[in-house]
Amino acid sequence: MAADLVRGLSAPTIALIDPGDQGSLEADLYAALLVGRRLLRHPLVRSILPDLYTAIPREPALAEAMRPGEMAREKKVKALIDRAIARGELRADVDRRATTDLLIGPLYWRIVVLGERCDRRQLKQLAHMTAAAIAAGGLAPD
Amino acid sequence: MAADLVRGLSAPTIALIDPGDQGSLEADLYAALLVGRRLLRHPLVRSILPDLYTAIPREPALAEAMRPGEMAREKKVKALIDRAIARGELRADVDRRATTDLLIGPLYWRIVVLGERCDRRQLKQLAHMTAAAIAAGGLAPD
C-alpha cells in the first residue's frame, strides 16, 4: 500500500523537478533548491519521507516504487552538471556523487530532519556556497 | 523511555565528537566527518535517529533529552569555525548556519537516509569541497 502511494506521488513530483537551464551553475542550483524546498516542506512529504527511507531495507516493493523518482532526480542533477561543464564552469571529471550529496543533503537536513525554515536569502546563500563546493570537486584530494 | 535512552547515549557521544585542532580548516572538516561517519553508521544510531527526529515535534521530553547532544554539536562546529577565522582562512562574518548544514547534511543524507557507504577517499573529497563552500560563505549573495 505504501508502494502504491509512492507510485501515485511520483509522476507529479517528477514533473515538478525540472527548472531547466537558468544560465549559470549558481542560478541552476538556486532553482533546484527552490524546487526541492517546495517539495520537502510539504507536510505530507516531510512527515512520511524519513519513514519511507527507513522502511526501504525491509520492503523491496517500496524501493521499486521509489526508483522512478530517484532516477528522475539523478537525471536532473546530471543535466545540471552537464550544462555547467558545457558552459566551461566545471571540469568534466567533477565528482558527481559528492555534488549530488552537497546539493540535496544540507536542504534535507535543515527542512526534513530539523524541521526548520529556509528563506530565499538563505537558499541563495546555500546555492552560492554549493557552487563553490562543486567547482572545487574537480580537483583530486591529496 | 525514549528520552531516557537518548540521555544515556548523549554523554559518550559528546566525548566522541572532539577531534580538536588539526591545523587547517580542511583537515578539521575531515576529522569532523570521520567522527561523524563513525557515529552515523553505528547500526543503532542509523536505525533510531530518523525516528527520533520525526518524534520530536510530538514529544517535548525527547527534544529536552536531545538538547545536550545538539548543544555539544553546535559548540564543536563553532570551535571549528573560530579556529579557521583565527588562522585567517575564513572571514569573521562567515555564514555559520549554512556552514553547519553543509558540514552535516551531505554525510547524513548519504549514510543515514540512503544507507550508503562513504570511504576515506570520499570523505576527504567531501572535506575538500565543503572547505571551498565555507570559504565562499563569507560573501554576501546577490
Q: Which residue has the higher pLDDT, B5 or A88?
A: A88
Mean pLDDT per block of 10 residues along chain A (142 residues) reads: 61 58 96 92 79 79 82 88 94 92 94 91 95 81 46
Look at residue A142 in the predicted model and tell me its pLDDT.
46
Question: Residue B129 and residue B137: Cα distance in Å, rounded?
Answer: 13
Q: What is the dihedral of CA A95, A100, A101, A107, to 10 degrees?
A: 140
Q: What is the dihedral of CA A27, A33, A38, A41, to 10 degrees?
A: -160
Q: Would you say the ipTM is above 0.90?
A: no
Of A125, A136, A142, the CB nearest to B132: A136
pLDDT per residue over B43-68, tens digit each?
Answer: 887 777 777 877 777 788 888 888 88
A111 C-beta neighbours (distance < 10 Å), count: 21
**DSSP 3-state of B21:** coil
A77 and A103 in contact (C-beta within 8 Å)?
yes
To which H or E segment does residue B66 belong?
helix B60-86
Cell of residue A64, nine digits = 521499486
Q: Which residue has the higher pLDDT, B123 or B138?
A: B123
Helix B96-107 vs helix B25-40: crossing angle, to nearest 10: 50
Question: Residue B70 and residue B126: Cα distance in Å, rounded?
Answer: 22
Helix A96-108 vs helix A25-40: crossing angle, to nearest 10: 40
**Pairwise CB contact (< 8 Å): B136 & A115:** no
Cell of residue B98, nine digits = 549554512
Model confidence at B18, pLDDT cuts 50, 70, 90, reads low
Count of CB pairs separated by less than 8 Å, A with B: 125
Q: Which residue has the higher pLDDT, B53 or B7?
A: B53
Cell of residue A56, nine digits = 526501504
CA distance, residue A41 to nearest chain B CA (Å): 14
List of domains in chain B: 2-138 (1.10.357.10)
Chain A: residue whose CA lies nearest to B48: A54
B41 and B107 in contact (C-beta within 8 Å)?
no
The DSSP-derived string for B29-64 is HHHHHHHHHHHHTSHHHHHHHHHHHHHGGG-HHHHH
Please check whether residue B120 touches A, CB under 8 A: no
Selected residue of B29, B37, B51, B54 to mutate for chain A interface (largest A Cβ count, 10 A): B54
Model confidence at B141, pLDDT cuts 50, 70, 90, reads very low
**Pairwise CB contact (< 8 Å): B53 & A115:** yes
Question: Residue A134 and residue A43: Cα distance in Å, rounded?
Answer: 30
Going by C-beta distance under 8 Å and a sequence separation of 6 or more, which residues neighbour residue B99? Answer: B77, B81, B134, B137
Task: Read off the amino acid at residue A97.
Answer: R
Cβ contacts of B137 on chain A, cutoff 8 Å:
125, 128-129
Look at residue A139 in the predicted model and tell me its pLDDT.
52
**Pairwise CB contact (< 8 Å): A106 & B107:** no
pLDDT per residue over B26-37, tens digit each?
Answer: 999 999 999 999
The DSSP-derived string for A92-127 is TT--HHHHHHHHHHHHHIIIIIS-----HHHHHHHH
Of A95, A105, A127, the CB nearest to B105: A105
Cell of residue A111, nine digits = 527542512
Look at residue B86 in the predicted model and tell me its pLDDT.
95
- Percent over 70 (pLDDT), chain B: 84
Please check whether residue B135 touches A, CB under 8 A: yes
Mean pLDDT along residues B17-28: 87
CB < 8 Å from B in window 76-95 of A: 95
Task: Read off the amino acid at residue A19.
Answer: P
